[in-house]
Chains A and B, each alone.
Chain A
C-alpha cells in the first residue's frame, strides 16, 4: 500500500531564533515557512531577549537547515538556541580511537572512521536523524578533504555532530600528511 497525505500538523519546537529587530523576525517566519519548516512566532523569555520582543520557535533539531535558509535569504538573526536555557552548550568535544589501519573520530552521538594511509572515509555510524543514512552514502569512499560537509548538505543536529567529526578527521589527516 502506498499512502499520500499532507495534513496540517501540530508543532512543538524546542528551539528559538533570536532577533535584534521585529522586521527580521517577520521576514524570518516567512522564509522559514516557505522553505517547508514548521515555525511559530513567540515571545522570547527575558534571559534570551536581545532587543526584539519576537522570536521564532523552530524545531531545534533542524538548526543547521534553518540557519542555512536564513543565511541564503540574508535574514539577520542573533542566534538559534534551545528554549530551555538550562540545556548545555552544543557539544564541541571529540574523542579519537585508534583501530590500527583506521582512525575513528567521535563527536557527540556521531562517529566517522577513515583509513590512515589514504584518508578515505570507510564508515560513519551513530545518530538517528533522517539525513544521517543519506550522509553516510554521500561520504563513504571519499577522502576526508574531498567529502561534502554535513553542515552544507545535512539538516539536523546529528549532521552538525558528524560535521564536527569530519573537521577533526581533516585536522588529523593534514597533520599526518605534514609529518
Chain B
C-alpha cells in the first residue's frame, strides 16, 4: 500500500487520511472532496489512474488544507512523525508542504526506527526540505525538474530561489555534471527522475536511461505535469515494478499523455490525466513486468 502525503489549497480542510476515489473531476478522501489541480491533487490523480489500470487497491492519501501559512504542513509532519511506527505502508510519497528542516529530520529518524521502513519518495518542497536538512540520502526517490536539479547541485542553497546563477543558467543537457556535483555533496536520492526536455533516470548517481520521445515542449508550462510523474512512479513502484523501469514508464506515459491530448501551454493538467488510462493501455504495463526491487533489497 502507498501513502501519498501533501497539502491542498483548501482553507480549513482538516488533516484527512483514507483511500482515494474519484467522482467526476473530484478526488474523494474520507468524504473530503478535492479538485484535481496542480500539486498534491495532480499527483494523487495520476497514482489513482495507475492503480485503477493495474487493478491494485486505491492509493491512501494524507491531505491537509494549507494555502501557504504552513499550519497544515506542520500538522501533516506531526502526524507522520507520531504515526511513523504504525504507518504500515510500502511506499511513502511526500509532496507539497512548507519545507521544514527540523520536522524532516524528526520524520526520517522516526521512520528509520520503525520496523517497516517504507520506500521513501519526495518531490516538491518535501524534496527541498530533505536536501536542505542534509537528508537526501535517506530518500529512495526524488523527482526534480531541471531547476530543482541545479538546486540539488548547489552545496549551499536551502531553496531553489537561492541557487547560484551559473547553476540556474544550466540547461538540461548539463544534467550529467549537475548529478555529479549533487552526488559529491550527498544531495541525491538513490533514484532520481530529472524532468526536462530530456528526462534523465539516475540510479545511484549514474544516468541509466534517457527519455526524450515524444517531444512535447508545452508540458513544461503546464502546472502539475511533474506531479503526475511522481504519482505514477509511486503507484508503479508500490505495484512491484523495478524502480528504473517504473521511472522510464512514468516519464514516457506522461509524454504520451501530452501528445495524445494535444497539449498547449493553456492546457490544464486534469485534461491530460483523463487520457492516462488510454496511454497506459498502449504502453501495457502489468505486474509481470516486476523484475525485483533494488530499493527494498538495499535496506
Q: Which residue of A lies closest to B148 (CB)?
A: A109
- CA separation between A123 and B269, bound complex, in Å? 10
Interchain nearest-CB distance for B12 vs A (Å)? 12
Interface string of B95-107 (1 = CB under 8 A from A): 1111111110110
Q: Which of A72-93 contact B (CB under 8 A)?
A: 82, 84, 86-91, 93
Interchain nearest-CB distance for B82 vs A (Å)? 8
Q: A104-B221, A111-B220 are in contact. Are A128 and B126 (CB under 8 A)?
A: yes
Interchain nearest-CB distance for B153 vs A (Å)? 12
**B residues near A, CB below 8 A?**
7-9, 14-18, 30, 32, 37-41, 66-75, 77-79, 95-103, 105-106, 123-128, 132-133, 145, 147-148, 151, 154, 156-165, 168-169, 217-218, 220-226, 264-268
| Chain A residues near B97 (CB-CB < 8 A) | 129-130
- CA separation between A12 and B68, bound complex, in Å? 18
| Chain B residues near A111 (CB-CB < 8 A) | 220-221
Determine whether the beta carbon of B68 is less than 8 Å from that of A9.
Answer: no
Check: A4 CB closer than 8 A to any chain B CB. Answer: yes
Interchain nearest-CB distance for A94 vs B (Å)? 10
Interchain nearest-CB distance for B30 vs A (Å)? 6
| Chain B residues near A160 (CB-CB < 8 A) | 161
Interchain nearest-CB distance for A85 vs B (Å)? 9
- CA separation between A100 and B168, bound complex, in Å? 24
Interchain nearest-CB distance for B41 vs A (Å)? 8
20 further A-B contacts with Cβ under 8 Å, apart from A129-B68, A133-B96, are A5-B15, A5-B78, A9-B74, A10-B102, A14-B101, A14-B158, A88-B163, A88-B165, A101-B264, A108-B161, A109-B145, A123-B221, A124-B223, A125-B220, A125-B222, A125-B223, A125-B226, A126-B223, A154-B68, A158-B159
Determine whether the beta carbon of A130 is less than 8 Å from that of B73.
Answer: yes
| Chain B residues near A93 (CB-CB < 8 A) | 165, 168-169
Q: A61-B98, A130-B68, A133-B96 are in contact. Are A99 and B79 (CB under 8 A)?
A: no
Q: A2-B15, A122-B265, A129-B68 are in contact. Are A113 and B221 (CB under 8 A)?
A: yes
Determine whether the beta carbon of B265 is less than 8 Å from that of A113.
Answer: yes
10 contacts between A and B (CB under 8 A): A2-B16, A88-B165, A102-B265, A109-B148, A109-B161, A123-B268, A127-B124, A133-B9, A134-B68, A155-B98
Q: Which residue of A lies closest to B42 (CB)?
A: A133
| Chain B residues near A65 (CB-CB < 8 A) | 68-69
- CA separation between A102 and B267, bound complex, in Å? 12
Of A89, A104, A109, A137, the contact of B160 (CB 8 Å cutoff): A109
| Chain B residues near A106 (CB-CB < 8 A) | 147
- Counting residue pairs across A and B whose Cβ atoms lie within 8 Å, the total is 221
Q: A2-B15, A99-B264, A128-B126 are in contact. Are A11 and B102 (CB under 8 A)?
A: yes
| Chain A residues near B18 (CB-CB < 8 A) | 1
- CA separation between A127 and B162, bound complex, in Å? 13
Determine whether the beta carbon of A87 is less than 8 Å from that of B156.
Answer: yes
- CA separation between A161 and B288, bound complex, in Å? 44
Q: A1-B18, A3-B17, A134-B68 are in contact. Are A61 and B103 (CB under 8 A)?
A: no
Interchain nearest-CB distance for B134 vs A (Å)? 11
Q: Which of A1-24 contact B (CB under 8 A)?
A: 1-7, 9-12, 14
- CA separation between A127 and B227, bound complex, in Å? 10
- CA separation between A103 and B128, bound complex, in Å? 28
- CA separation between A93 and B160, bound complex, in Å? 13
Interchain nearest-CB distance for B138 vs A (Å)? 16
Interchain nearest-CB distance for B73 vs A (Å)? 6
- Would you list the 3 A-B pairs with minimal beta carbon distance, nearest first? A131-B68, A128-B124, A155-B68
| Chain A residues near B268 (CB-CB < 8 A) | 123
Q: Which of B30, B79, B98, B154 has the most CB of A within 10 A?
A: B98
